Amino acid sequence: MAATATQRRDGRTFVNFSMPQRSQSMKSLASRPRAVDDKGEEELPYRPSKAQVVQSHITSDDLHATIRPSLGSGKGGLTAGPAIPERTTSLHRKTITWPATIEGYRPGSFNFDTVHTFVKTPWGLERTILGTRWSKSSAGSSALRPQVFMQLPSEIYQCIIDHLENVHTERIKVDVAGMQTDLRSLCLVSKTWHRIAADQLYRELWLPSNRAPTKRRWSKEHRPSRLQLLIGTLKVSPGLAMVTQKLHITAALAQELQSEISSGFDTGPTVGTLQALIRLCYNMEHISGYVIPAATQTIGLMDALAMRTHLKSHTWRLESKRSLPSLPEFIYSHDHWPKLSTLVISADIGVDLGGVAVSIVLSRLPCLKHLVLSGLHHDDYHDTTLMTLPSLRSLRLEKLEGLTDQGIGQLAYSRLAPYLESLTLVDLELASLQTIQSLLWHLTRMKRFTFVQETSPEPQVGIRSMNTPIRLGSSALHHLHWDCIDHGTALSCFAAAIQANHFPKLTTIKAPCDYDGTIQSLCRPIAHTKLTHDDVLFLAVRTKQRYTRDLRASQVQAQLRIRERSRRPSFNVIVQDERMKVCSTHVIGSILGNMDSKIEYDLNPGVEGGKTALVELHDVMLPKPASLGRTEQRRDVGVLF
């Protein structure tokens, strides 16, 4: 902006910065004649610099002053630059608040007529009273500092994590996608939450499908699958792999593994990827969702499992149609499992393990507590090897041709008798009811007893049986599952024992073979459910054979017995008016069951969505249908006991 020197009335000059003219150069100003003061000093030309200029306004206490004071009149006769003219502006001028007279003004002091004080309004007084209209919300005042959350114990965070998992879990169904999304969100809250939520996220890994995503249209690179991305994360962060304890094989991954192993070719990409994942998880304890059969294609996978020293449960699926590992490899693979507590050995008749293989394997597992033996050859497992069992808590014997009534009866006097809490006998075809009586009386800690076979055991005729009649009973039994297609007289013996209170702690009984409702009449009444036309047709087809093992047929028959009993009059209700004239009569039907009983009559399937009352081995081993969307089923080996 250009500046121009202007002459004022008092003879002084000032620089007008508002005029848009170019200022003269210093050379032209120096060539002009300049005034000389009394002392002979030449007055130099003044030119404003291009730097920022700070304007200062000087006021005076003199009310009668009309001319600005000049710095030239000060001490020493200092001469200032040209004075800045009055500012011209289009804005409204502020009102000057000067006193009216000079007497009312004292320079350097301020006088107030009144002392200003703050007076609270009525609504201001009510702010301090809780519950009133004007009270302040306590949300702001009760906000805790972040340091408070950092000092909370880890148990509080773990309780929140457990509650979050319960929100996404309904019995055995788990919303995996929703649970993982919430855990990833918690990882972004703070460092404390990141540590706790990440541990929970990787402690139980739900293994996704190994199917690679669709290749992009203009890309030459093949994108990795979600399972391969998970392996890459565990390789980059080995600490997360150390946290992993459980591996859940999803339905999609189980179908891929099943198709690769059934093809008969060498190790496929999915089996190899799962093998690499298991080798990364050093502290892995459980793997569920699908039981990998022992075959040539899975030798590397079995070797990886054999090196997991923290493994706590394992299932052997031995099939004669596949090339099995050698007997020494099968035995030596148990040497690195000192913490194994659950073992399942399932085989068919064509598998030959040898007479002492199972006993040698069990002797190498010091922490074994739960055992399932199914389908072994009668030479591989018989009454003699049964006596070599260690002190177990749960035992399931299924389809073992080498076991007899005499061998099973010896369990009552073996070394596992004081420790056994759950016993399951499936398709052993025992014939003596005295064997069942001996087990119930001598297994003093047994809480669950399951007996399933085609024919019912009967009291044996003999001198000893005539002197000691059948007297069933147990002081510790809580759950009884009795299912024999030909129920015989055993069910009536149990009914008599229940009436005599020989099962004082019995709370649940499951008897699908209760065709006459003998056991149902001793339990608490079950809920009345609606029967459809399809149920009646289904029962008509199923009852062409008198005895059948079908859980749905048992449920329909139980409901029909309830309706039949309700038609029998229990008592009549007669309503009379004041003249003793009968107005109406109501007949109250009978109920089937005992209201004072503590025993529940259970006809639910073994697993949710199943068709049998017993949990079968294929419910745990075979892959589940992948039609559940984002929901997966959690089925561990523990449901077999």
Cα separation, 23 vs 17, in Å, equals 10
**Distance, CA of 272 to CA of 301 (rounded, Å):** 8
* Calpha distance 288→242 (Å, rounded): 19
pLDDT in tens, 538-552: 777 766 566 777 888
pLDDT tens digit string along 587-603? 777 888 888 899 999 99
Helix, strand, or coil here: 434?
A: helix
| pLDDT for res 618 | 87
From residue 177, give the alpha-carbon distance in Å to each of 239, 282, 449: 23, 25, 38
Q: What is the pLDDT of residues 175-204, one digit of tens each?
A: 999 999 999 999 998 888 999 999 999 999
Q: Are 284 and 308 in contact (CB under 8 A)?
A: yes
Structure tokens at 177: 């996608």
pLDDT at 546: 64
Q: Which residue has the higher pLDDT, 470 or 76?
A: 470
Residues 6+ apart with CB under 8 A from 319: 293, 294, 295, 347, 348, 351
120 half-sphere exposure, CB direction, 13 A CA radius: 7
How far is Cα 240 from Cα 237, in angstroms, rounded to an integer?
6
Task: Tell me the C-alpha distance between 635 and 190, whole Å.
Answer: 34
What φ, ψ does residue 304 adopt, rounded to 5°?
A: -65, -40
User: Which of residues 76 and 569 earns the better pLDDT score?
Assistant: 569
Contact of 438 with 449, CB cutoff 8 Å: no
Check residue 161 and give its pLDDT: 93
Tokens of 237: 């962060």
pLDDT of residue 128: 65
- Of 391, 342, 350, which Cα lies nearest the Cα of 370? 342
What confidence score (pLDDT) does residue 533 get?
A: 81
pLDDT at 37: 54
For residues 143 and 141, give the distance between their C-alpha atoms in angstroms, rounded to a whole number: 6
Amino acid at 239: G
How far is the C-alpha of 299 from the C-alpha of 333, rounded, in Å? 11
pLDDT band at 74; cut points 50, 70, 90: very low
Helical spans, DSSP H, in 480-637: 490-499, 533-542, 551-566, 618-621
Residue pLDDT, tens place only, 345-359: 999 888 888 888 999
3-class DSSP assignment, residue 611: coil
Q: Which pLDDT belongs to residue 6?
A: 53
29-38 pLDDT, tens per residue?
A: 555 555 555 5
List the Cα angle 13/17/22 in 5-degree steps: 100
In this structure, what token pair is assigned to residue 352?
A: 């030959």
To the nearest whole number, what is the mean pLDDT of the chain?
80
Q: Around Cβ 290, how many Cβ atoms within 10 Å?
A: 26
Query: Of 352-356, 451-455, 469-473, where does the model show the most confidence?
Result: 451-455
CATH code assigned to 245-403+613-640: 3.80.10
pLDDT reported for residue 569: 78
- The three-state secondary structure class of 276 is helix
Asked which of 3-12, 296-305, 607-616 is least confident by mean pLDDT, the reply is: 3-12
If you search the block for the tokens 């004072």, which residue do you land on?
596
Alpha-helix runs per DSSP H in 518-609 = 533-542, 551-566
Residues 434 and 469: their CA atoms lie apart, in Å, by 9
- 611-632 pLDDT tens trace: 889 999 888 887 666 555 678 8
pLDDT on residue 72: 46
Q: pLDDT above 90 covers what percent of the chain? A: 41
Give the whole-angstrom CA distance, residue 529 versus residue 521. Answer: 17
In percent, the amount of the chain with pLDDT more than 70 equals 75
What pLDDT digit, counting tens, does each position of 132-148 carry? 665 555 554 556 676 77
Cα distances (angstroms) measured from residue 425 to each of 135, 361, 451, 480: 70, 22, 5, 12
State residue 94's pLDDT score: 47
The closest alpha carbon to 291, from 331, 354, 347, belongs to 347
Between CA 305 and CA 337 the distance in angstroms is 10
Predicted local confidence at residue 159, as pLDDT: 93
- Greatest Cα pair distance, the chain, in angstroms, is 157
Which segment of 47-56, 226-235, 309-318, 565-574 scores lowest on mean pLDDT?
47-56
Each domain of the chain, given as residue ranges in start order, spans 245-403+613-640
Confidence of residue 215 (pLDDT cuts 50, 70, 90): confident
CA distance readout (Å), 414 to 315, 443, 450, 471, 522 = 25, 10, 19, 22, 34
Residues 6+ apart with CB under 8 A from 48: 3, 15, 17
Does residue 610 or residue 330 have the better pLDDT?
Answer: 330
Indicate the pLDDT class of residue 339, thresholds 50, 70 and 90: very high
pLDDT (average), residues 509-526: 92
| CA-based radius of gyration for the chain | 47
Give residue 91's pLDDT: 47
Counting beta carbons within 10 angstroms of the beta carbon of residue 160, is it exposed (0 to 12), middle (13 to 18) or buried (19 or more)?
Answer: middle
Residue 111: per-residue pLDDT: 56
Per the document, the length of the chain is 641
In the block, which residue shows the tokens 């993982």? 180
Round to whole Å and give the CA distance between 254 and 386.
Answer: 34
Strands 582-589 vs 569-576: parallel, antiparallel or unpaired: antiparallel
Per-residue pLDDT of 230-250, as tens digits, reads 999 999 999 999 999 999 999
Inter-axis angle of helices 269-280 and 299-306, nearest 10: 10
Single pTM value for the model? 0.73
* Cα distance between residue 517 and residue 536, in whole Å: 18
Confirm if 244 and 205 have CB atoms less than 8 A apart. yes
Band (pLDDT 50/70/90 cuts) for residue 399 is very high
196 alpha carbon, distance to own chain's centre = 13
Instruction: Return d(Cα 465, Cα 473) in angstroms, integer.
Output: 17
When mean pLDDT is compared across 204-208, 264-268, 357-361, 503-507, the lowest value belongs to 264-268
Rounded CA-CA distance 304/309 in Å is 10
Across 30-34, 167-171, 504-508, 551-555, least confident range: 30-34
What was the pLDDT predicted at 187?
92
